[in-house]
């Protein structure tokens, strides 16, 4: 089953880089940008994370919670956060259970090889806990800026 705009966002509880549990249920009442990315410290993922960082104040001004999710462990997330001064939590989804629930985990192809992994995608979850926007195959660098303008339309 593919998630659609208007569907309830799949609930989750994941640890952040510091070991604190972040749960969607506790964020109810807030608009949440949940973005899935393949790996810490890779070129595209770094561009995307830094674009969210560079526009973070604008997201905060709109009362939006930004959360990044990958299958990397907490230690990897901590290095990524420290290296690029990221102001928002990165969540650990090592078994890709949350990515799978959001349809963001599956077969990928790169340079002739096939493997299972997280695909770059973003979900905007409304204060009511329902999906307001779904972005698949996003452009890492431009997406966080384009998303900001689209949030005004919600």
Domains and CATH numbers, the chain: 13-19+28-151 (3.40.30.10)
Asked if the model's pLDDT at residue 50 lies above 70, the reply is: yes
Task: Say how far apart CA 43 and CA 109 lie, in whole Å.
Answer: 17
Q: Within 10 Å of residue 93's Cβ, how many Cβ atoms?
A: 23
Q: What is the pLDDT of residue 141?
A: 87
% residues pLDDT > 70 (the chain): 99
Both tokens of 109, joined, read 């192809």
pLDDT bracket for residue 96 (50, 70, 90):
very high
Q: So which residues are the catalytic ones?
A: 45
R_g of the chain, CA atoms, integer Å? 14
Average the pLDDT over 104-124 and give the result: 90
Average the pLDDT over 76-102 and give the result: 97
Q: What is the pLDDT of residue 102?
A: 97
pLDDT bracket for residue 111 (50, 70, 90):
confident
Q: What is the pLDDT of residue 140?
A: 87
Of 122, 12, 103, 105, nearest to 59 (Cα)? 122
Q: With 0-12 CB in 10 A as exposed, 13-18 as middle and 19+ as buried, what is 44? A: middle
DSSP state of 26: G
């Amino acid at each position: 089953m593919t998630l659609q705009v208007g569907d309830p966002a799949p609930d989750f509880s994941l640890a952040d880089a510091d070991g604190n549990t972040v749960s969607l249920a506790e964020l109810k009442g807030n608009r949440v940008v949940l973005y899935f990315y393949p790996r810490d410290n890779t070129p595209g993922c770094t561009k995307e994370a830094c674009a969210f960082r560079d526009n973070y104040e604008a997201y905060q001004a709109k009362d939006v919670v930004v959360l990044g999710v990958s299958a990397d462990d907490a230690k990897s997330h901590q290095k990524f956060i420290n290296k690029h001064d990221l102001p928002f939590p990165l969540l650990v989804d090592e078994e890709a259970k949350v990515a799978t629930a959001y349809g963001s985990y599956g077969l990928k192809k790169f340079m002739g090889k096939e493997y299972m992994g997280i695909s770059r995608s973003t979900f905007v979850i409304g204060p009511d806990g329902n999906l307001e926007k779904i972005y698949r195959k996003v452009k890492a660098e431009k997406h966080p800026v384009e998303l900001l303008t689209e949030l005004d339309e919600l």
